[in-house]
Structure 1
Amino acid sequence: MQTIKAKRKKYEPAIYAQLLTALTQVMDGTNLLRPDRETWDIEGDWSMTGTMHFVDSAYQPLFEPFADFDCRTIKIVNYGRPAVRMTFYRKHRYWLLKDRDLPILEKKARVTEYINQLIVNSEILVQKSTQMTGTKLSEAKGQLALMNDQIKAWSIVRENVADYELAISNYQREHYYCYINYKYRTKEDDFANEQVHLLNPQRDRLGTITQVRHNIVFIDTSEIRREHPYQNKEIDGFLGRFTMQSEVGRHQLYARLRPDADSIEAFEQNVSVPDPKNEVSLVKPKKGTKPKRANSSTPLFPDWE
């Protein structure tokens, strides 16, 4: 299933140039943060993507005029959602057309296109070889022989295309995108995650960078710490009340001394907790219903994630 790409915004050349100049000035004039792997909650490597600009979220208002600017060379990654945790990773991007995706006529057209390209390339090489001598001439003759073999082989496929299974893909070109997955705090004071692909520098066939591209990531400097709650703030706050915590296999055991003034009902607050394996709920049963007995086969310390 192919991903539908969002349409790029179109600008008049003069307006685009004006926005790009203004955004570049703000970007270059803003102090950057130096990522600290010892104190920041950050993982992964971003060395293969464009230039990274980690910016204190306090400077976000400076970038407000460009929040919706669809710039080709500068990407504002997370305006309004400063990151409290970041993970960088690379993803292999490719497309693949299998035999069932290709009608007979398209198969013939694709093979014919390749054969014609081989013929053109071989004719060009023949002309160049008239000026060659020694090792270069020997290499050219070897390439011509390989091209002729390819032309013969693919001509057989074209003439008997129904007997062959075909596929077309750019998989082996190994084109990678660098992605960032970041956690941020929502307006409801909860946590959410977002995944965004970053801008890569533009390179020529030799790998030389021909155009630098930039990615701006806003950082919540008060929360970019090593540990964050894996669930919502309600559960984090509930478990944070316990003064004792121990690892028991693949889960944790919590305890605290109940104050004399606390009743069981006050201690066992109505907190929505996932029930993956029918654990005893913390929710008080409704009136007129009998509490269900715990399954006797349920182990004391089930192997929950």
Structure 2
Amino acid sequence: MEETEDFASHAKRKHYDPQTYARLLADFTQLMEEVPKLRPNRDAWDIEGDWAATGTIFFVDAVHQPLFEPLRAFDCRTIKLVNLDRPAVRLTFYRKHRYWLLKDKDLPPAEKINQIQTYLNDLLVKCQVLAQKLAVLPAPKRAEASGKIGLYQQQIQQWEAILATPERYEMALSNYSRQHMYVTVNYKYRLDSGDFANEQEHLLNTQRDRLGNITQNRYNILFIDPVEIHREHPYQNREVEGYLANFSIQSEAGKHTLYARLRLEANSQPPLV
């Protein structure tokens, strides 16, 4: 698997019983609201970029870090301690495309078959649902539905052929084309040795519905070295699109895209009679 967003990320999260999670969240929220905040100063701070497209960011003086220590291990879904113990002396915000990519070598044969079969089942259901509605749809909608059924049937034929001889195809699985963009912060901090180091973290986005209405606020807490942040620090200075573009068969399968192409050795074989 490549890049940033883990295909099985939810499986790695900590699980809490509802009462425990609610108690920890209440403690975290109260502390977040009560701790004094710093107001970022673009003219005085060593800070670049725009963070308006992400969740709420609170800039907090590093002196208050010990208050958050009891909550360090809490895997909160809505509040993120971005850089506890690493107060920033320089901040750079930028938008980053986050995605996951499973290449052919990452997909066991059984998983390939499962992914194709799941996609085929989904297409068959869509065809059946539309076919049942055709008789009652007005003419324009009926033509549109018939066109969709035709496209679904083409996809079904294509992927059924791949399913019949999956060993002849190289496959990949990715949500790359869905363009999940996250605001990421690159921050510089001072090590105990006195040297500087850099880290980057993606920030929690505000959750919105399809109409753009906020459904859940999310918060990011950034700790700041209040002295060093006023000094200038040295500026820290893709093959994925090309890789995926080489797949001749690409199908949207829910939240990800299914890719396939004939293996080079398969291309050199004579056609089956």
TM bucket by the smaller chain?
0.7 to 0.9
CA RMSD after TM alignment:
2.8
Of 200-209 and 219-228, deviating more is 200-209
TM-aligned CA deviation for residue 75 of structure 1? 0.8
Aligned equivalent of 1:123: 128
- 1:174 corresponding residue in structure 2: 179
Aligned match of 1:66: 71
Greater RCO (Cα-Cα under 8 Å, separation 6 or more) = 2
Change (3 A) 1:143 1:8: closer
1:220 aligns with 2:231: no
Counterpart residue type for residue 98 of structure 1: K
Q: 1:156 to 1:205 in 2, by over 3 A?
A: farther
The change in CA–CA distance for 1:103 and 1:225 in structure 2 (over 3 A counts) is same
CA distance in 1, matches of 2:105, 2:42: 48
Match of 1:54 in 2: 59
Q: 2:162 aligns with which of 134, 152, 157?
A: 157
Question: In proportion to residue count, which structure has more helix?
Answer: 2
Percent identity over paired residues: 57
Note the C-alpha offset of 1:104.
4.4
Is 1:13 the counterpart of 2:13 in the alignment? no
Deviations 1:97-122 (A, max 9, x none): 33344454443333222222111011
Note the C-alpha offset of 1:25.
1.6
Letter in 2 for 1:118: L
1:183 corresponds to 2:191: no
1:226, distance to aligned residue in structure 2 (A): 4.7
1-side partners of 2:109 and 2:12: how far apart? 32
Task: Spell out, residue by residue over 1:102-147, the C-alpha distance to the aligned partner (whole angstroms, 9 max, x if none).
Answer: 4544433332222221110111112233332132222112111211
User: Structure 1 185/171 Cα, relative in aligned 2: closer, same or farther at 3 Å?
Assistant: same
Counterpart position of 2:83: 78
**Number of the residue aligned with 2:239:** none
Residue of structure 2 equivalent to 1:26: 31
2:203 — aligned with what?
198
Partner secondary structure for residue 39 of structure 2:
coil
Q: What secondary structure, in the 3-state scheme, does the structure 1 residue paired with 2:92 have?
A: strand
Task: Determine the C-alpha separation between the residues in 1 that align with 2:156 and 2:15.
Answer: 43
Q: Pick closer, same or farther for the CA change 1:63–1:112 going to 2, 3 Å.
A: closer
1:7–1:157 distance in 2 versus 1, CA, 3 Å: closer
2:133 aligned with 1:114: no
| Structure 2 residue ranges without an equivalent (≥5) | 237-273
Match for 1:93 among 95, 98, 105?
98
The one-letter amino acid paired with 1:134 is A
Q: Which residue identity is paired with 1:117? A: D
User: Which digits, 9 at most, give the CA deviation of each residue in 1:38-96, with x for residues without a partner?
Assistant: 21111222222221111223333443432333211111112232211111223322222
With over 3 angstroms needed to count, the CA separation of the structure-2 counterparts of 1:19 and 1:148, relative to structure 1, is same
Query: Which stretches in structure 1 are left out of the alignment for 5+ residues?
Result: 232-305
Q: Note the 1:154-303 alignment, pairs <5 A.
A: 154-205=159-210, 207-228=212-233
Write the distance in 2 (CA, Å) between the matches of 1:41 and 1:106: 48
Please tell me the residue identity of whatever aligns with 1:55: V
Q: 1:88 to 1:147 in 2, by over 3 A?
A: same
Whole-Å separation in 1 of the counterparts to 2:24 and 2:46: 33
Q: How many residues align?
A: 231
User: Shift of the alpha carbon at 1:174?
Assistant: 1.6
* Cα displacement (A) at 1:206: 5.2
Q: Call closer, same or farther: CA 1:130–1:226 in 2, change over 3 Å.
A: farther
